[in-house]
Amino acid sequence: MIELEVHMPAGTDTKSVPVTVEQAAAREELIVAMRGTLGTYPGCVHWHFKRAGEKGTLEVTWWPKMTRLWFKVADGREGPWIRGAMERLRTQLEA
């Protein structure tokens, strides 16, 4: 499993983060395969992103209560595009 924290800039508008995440993912040509929430993190937004025609699933979770955003790749769900996409997304989101 891979997990990577995204350090949101000070003063980030927590309500705009879901839109910002989806816009950044779209720039990476990622498709929202699932958008929901996780019981473990009440009030969070949780996505599964995929790239058309390629293996792998990138999970992204935004937990506004803790102002926490992170990426996760579960064992067996890695694809050749994921590590590069994670770094580029993190760079965009931390700016």
pLDDT tens across 62-91, in order? 999 999 999 999 999 999 999 999 999 999
Confidence of residue 25 (pLDDT cuts 50, 70, 90): very high
Q: Which domains does the chain have, with CATH numbers?
A: 2-94 (3.30.310.240)
71 - beta bridge partners? 4, 60
Where does the pLDDT of residue 50 fall: very low under 50, low under 70, confident under 90, or very high at 90 and above? very high
Q: What pTM does this model have? A: 0.96
DSSP code per residue over 39-70: TTEEEEEEEEEE-TTS---EEEEEEGGGTEEE
Q: What is the pLDDT of residue 4?
A: 98
